[in-house]
Amino acid sequence: MKRTVAVIQARMGSRRLPGKILEPLHDDVSLLAYQCRRLRHTEGVDELVIATTTARRDDVIAELAQREGLRVCRGSEHDVLGRFVLAADMSLADTLVRITSDSPFRDPGVIARCVAEHRAHGAEYTRPQAGHLPKGLRAEIVETRVLRQIDSDRATTDREREHVTIRIRENPDAYRCLAVGFADNLHHPEFDLSVDTADELEFVRMIHSSLQARAWPADIDHICALLTETALAQPQQQGLAS
């Protein structure tokens, strides 16, 4: 059986909102800690690890990983592809799930579905179909050997090292790619649950508060239902928690 490992790429040096992943989503639970707790027992995933950088400012991320009982891999700040290969080496991963740390509501059910379809079809790269899910709730599954090939290719550009899977996405005919379809009620690409600004941080806090007020779980079905019901998909709009 292939070993599948989910890797959260995380660093403190965000250009627009530095340190955002350690900002609280609710109470004293940070965006990153919340995501770790949601994803650590995802069906079909053998381990969850955090890949951060060797920069001193990212020591706090390594400390968070330790508190959450997760292994951490540290590598280059700019060579994110290299970090994923290091994480694969450390965890003996045959298959990797790529997760960014600025989307706290990423759904383990979505990841589990993509992993299962990836295995069933013998794919090299899998993601949800375009337009089928909100931004920040998607997942990428990729075979480690494919990333190794890209990493070892002397023609690999800095852009490809920063964005990890962009060569695959821009050259889909060169790989066995799979797009996973989801139900019609989840076709909301206009919703954005990622955090890159202070307004977006406040928006995801409002979503969490609104879900709590309704006693709804923070899964993709209920988040889409909430945003559709309130017709609020942008951080600047108000009234979500009412």
SS3 labels along 56-82: HHHHHHHHHHHHCCCEEEEECCCCHHH
**Domain contains 171:** yes
Q: Which position has the token pair 């109470």?
A: 27
**Domain contains 174:** yes
**Domain contains 203:** no
Residue 8 domain boundaries: 4-186
**Domain contains 86:** yes
> Residue 62's domain is classified under what CATH number?
3.90.550.10
Contact 161, 155 (CB under 8 A): no
* Mean pLDDT of all residues in 173-192: 95
3-state secondary structure of 190: coil
pLDDT for position 233: 44
**pLDDT averaged over every residue in the chain:** 93
Q: Phi/psi at 43 (nearest 5 deg)? A: -60, 135
**Domain contains 212:** no
Nearest-angstrom CA–CA distance, 136 and 201:
13
| pLDDT tens per residue, range 220-229 | 999 999 999 8
pTM of the model as a whole: 0.91
pLDDT for position 235: 47
Which pairing describes strands 4-9 and 24-26: parallel, antiparallel, or unpaired?
unpaired
pLDDT for position 13: 85
Please give the C-alpha separations between residue 203 and each of 136, 183, 192, 207, in angstroms, as whole numbers.
Answer: 13, 25, 10, 6
* Mean pLDDT of all residues in 2-14: 94
Contact 70, 48 (CB under 8 A): yes
**Domain contains 233:** no
Indicate the residue type of 195: V
**Domain contains 222:** no
pLDDT for position 229: 87
Query: How many domains does the chain contain in total?
Result: 1
Q: Is the pLDDT of residue 239 over 60?
A: no
**Domain contains 91:** yes
Q: Is the pLDDT of residue 20 over 60?
A: yes
* Mean pLDDT of all residues in 69-93: 96
pLDDT for position 18: 86
Lowest mean pLDDT across 119-128, 143-152, 185-194: 185-194
